[in-house]
Amino acid sequence: MFEATFFYSLAALVLGFGVMVITARNTVHSVLFLVANFLCVALLFLGLGAEFLAIIQVLVYAGGIVVLYLFVVMLVSLKGVPEGQGSPRRRAQLGFLMSAAVLAEISAILVYSARHPGNVPAAPAALQGGNTETVGMLLYTNYLVPFEVASMLLLVAMIGAILLAKKEI
């Protein structure tokens, strides 16, 4: 009962903040709604037993990336950000068409899976040790090479960002 309430209220918050991100007129409000959305998703991760992921979500997304967005919003002048020419109604229609297609797709999947109750195998025994310990062990043993590649990617991205954003090289 508690689990269901937890999930449904968090899902409503996540989707509500998501909608507000894309509908807010003011870009700064958009960024703030994005923070709220990220925090709700982090709570969702906690409910899924992924504590490490939840902390990373708060640190990297809600802490780092959002500050980057706020800096950019501060650096560019948003006075003249128009919502563009071209009829907004046509664009909205396109978006709703797209969402209707996905809604149909999801319903089709739900109907299909209700008809074919596949045999979900019982989950294996719970992992030993804490969540952070398990994820760290995997990161530094089986997934060491992707981990190093990711760090390389971040280094390259950092250099590239500095190079691109600099006025005079």
Partner 1 sequence: MVPITPSHYLVLSAALFMIGVIGVMIRRNIIVVFMSIELMLNAVNINLAAFSQQWQNAVGQVFAVFVIAVAAAEAAVGLAILLAFYRNKDTLNVDEMNSMKW
Residue 64 DSSP symbol: I
Gap between the terminal Cα atoms of the chain: 60
d(CA 14, CA 16): 6
Name residues contacting partner 1, limited to 136-155 (CB under 8 A): 138-139, 142-143, 146, 150, 153-154
The secondary structure element, H or E, covering residue 144 is: helix 144-165
- What distances in angstroms separate CA 59 from CA 35, 65, 96, 138, one per listed residue? 11, 9, 34, 21
How many helices, marked H, and strands, marked E, lie in the chain? 7, 0
Does the footprint of partner 1 cover residue 35 (CB under 8 A)?
no
Radius of gyration of the chain (CA): 21
User: What dihedral angle (degrees, nearest 10) is formed by the CA atoms of 127, 131, 132, 136?
Assistant: 30
Does the footprint of partner 1 cover residue 125 (CB under 8 A)?
yes
Which residue's CB is nearer to partner 1, number 82 or number 119?
82
Does the footprint of partner 1 cover residue 115 (CB under 8 A)?
no
Name residues contacting partner 1, limited to 48-67 (CB under 8 A): 48-50, 52-53, 56-57, 60-61, 64-65
Name residues contacting partner 1, limited to 69-108 (CB under 8 A): 69, 72-73, 75-76, 78, 80-86, 88, 91-92, 94-96, 98-99, 102-103, 106
Please identify which residue in 115, 117, 145, 167 interacts with partner 1, judged by CB under 8 A: 167
Does the footprint of partner 1 cover residue 158 (CB under 8 A)?
yes
Does the footprint of partner 1 cover residue 111 (CB under 8 A)?
no
Q: Please, are residues 131 and 50 in contact by the beta-carbon 8 Å criterion?
A: yes
Does the footprint of partner 1 cover residue 123 (CB under 8 A)?
yes
Does the footprint of partner 1 cover residue 169 (CB under 8 A)?
no
Please identify which residue in 74, 104, 108, 110 interacts with partner 1, judged by CB under 8 A: 110
